[in-house]
């Protein structure tokens, strides 16, 4: 049994609790067995087994669970309904998920699911996609999948994380990236949003034939930037300073009419990007 000199976590020091859990650092956590039974399949099974050397029904059960304090405390807080401090890193989330999975604790798993798409972890969408794929969180996977469009998946930096994905989820991710690029190119070449540059015949209102070379050059630049970062945010942020944009907005017919309206073109470009990066297929069903 733990002695009075041994360290109990201040949030888990209720002397009436009948189970004592010990971390790898030697910290003791007093927890009521009814809570462990109700929130964890692992403990429900373990505590149903006959306990050796149990002299009375009030005897405490001590278990060395082999988990560090940083992870164990957070998971126990979720299981016991205590306040949870902010997550310091995605590494802590992953470590907690491993323990939650080991302990078969659906309640804490649902807590993390609701937090996984918060802005706190937005800087690492690929790891979030791995976690969402692992636990079958389809809605969350779709949300973070869009944010992976800001990454260059094939530059070698992300190989280790990509290797952790099941093949069907990896194929879904790659198919989504490719689909976004195809949609964007099709929108730029179509007449629904960009009729001024793509309709045939390309005539001005005055009857003169228009030369759309400036639009074609801008399209090439747009496609190149979208291939580099298919989230499209860099296009909207930077294109006003591109030489191709400047020329496109300035070109006019001999009659003085501008070939392209900057305001409507940028507005339609925003719509083209929005449509291109829409997630409208299940994440585990690659488009063939």
At residue 60, φ and ψ (nearest 5 deg) are -90, 145
Whole-number Å distance between alpha carbons of 272 and 145: 18
77 contact partners, CB below 8 Å, separation of at least 6: 11, 83, 84
Distances (CA, A) of 166 to 99, 118, 132, 181: 21, 24, 11, 23
Phi-psi region at 14: left, alpha or beta (left = phi > 0; alpha = psi -120 to 50): beta
Each residue of 147-171: pLDDT tens digit?
A: 999 999 988 999 999 999 999 999 9
- How is 196-212 classified by DSSP, letter by letter? HHH-SS-B-TTSPBP-T
At residue 120, φ and ψ (nearest 5 deg) are -55, -35
pLDDT given for residue 88 in this prediction:
87
Each residue of 252-267: pLDDT tens digit?
A: 888 888 888 999 999 9
Kindly state the helix (H) or strand (E) to which residue 172 belongs, with its residue range: helix 167-189
Each residue of 92-128: pLDDT tens digit?
A: 999 999 999 999 999 999 999 988 888 878 889 999 9
Per the model's pLDDT, the better-predicted residue between 123 and 11 turns out to be 11
Banded model confidence at residue 82, pLDDT cuts 50, 70, 90: very high
Whole-number Å distance between alpha carbons of 168 and 51: 44
pLDDT given for residue 51 in this prediction:
65
Residue listed under structure tokens 């706190």: 120
- Of 167, 133, 129, the residue nearest 146 (C-alpha): 129
- Cα 190 to the center of its chain, rounded Å: 32
């Amino acid at each position: 049994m733990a002695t009075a000199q041994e360290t109990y976590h201040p949030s888990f020091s209720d002397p009436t609790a009948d189970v004592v859990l010990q971390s790898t650092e030697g910290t003791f956590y007093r927890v009521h067995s009814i809570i462990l039974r109700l929130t964890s399949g692992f403990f429900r099974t373990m505590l149903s087994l006959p306990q050796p050397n149990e002299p009375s029904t009030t005897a405490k059960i001590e278990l060395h669970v082999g988990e560090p304090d940083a992870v164990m405390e957070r998971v126990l807080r979720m299981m016991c309904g205590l306040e949870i401090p902010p997550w310091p890193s995605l590494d802590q989330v992953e470590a907690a998920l491993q323990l939650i999975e080991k302990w078969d604790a659906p309640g804490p798993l649902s807590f993390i699911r609701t937090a996984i798409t918060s802005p706190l972890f937005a800087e690492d969408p690929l790891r979030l996609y791995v976690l969402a794929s692992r636990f079958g969180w389809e809605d969350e996977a779709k949300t973070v999948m869009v944010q992976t469009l800001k990454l260059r998946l094939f530059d070698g930096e992300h190989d280790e994380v990509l290797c952790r994905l099941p093949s069907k989820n990896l194929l879904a991710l790659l198919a989504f990236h490719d689909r976004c690029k195809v949609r964007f190119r099709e929108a730029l070449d179509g007449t629904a949003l960009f009729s001024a540059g793509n309709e045939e015949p390309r005539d001005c209102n005055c009857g003169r034939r228009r030369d759309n070379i400036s639009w074609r050059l801008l399209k090439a630049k747009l496609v190149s930037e979208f291939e580099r970062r298919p989230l499209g945010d860099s296009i909207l942020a930077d294109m006003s300073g591109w030489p191709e944009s400047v020329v496109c907005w300035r070109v006019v017919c001999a009659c003085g009419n501008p070939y392209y309206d900057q305001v409507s073109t940028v507005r339609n470009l925003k719509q083209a990007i929005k449509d291109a990066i829409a997630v409208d297929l299940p994440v585990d069903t690659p488009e063939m």
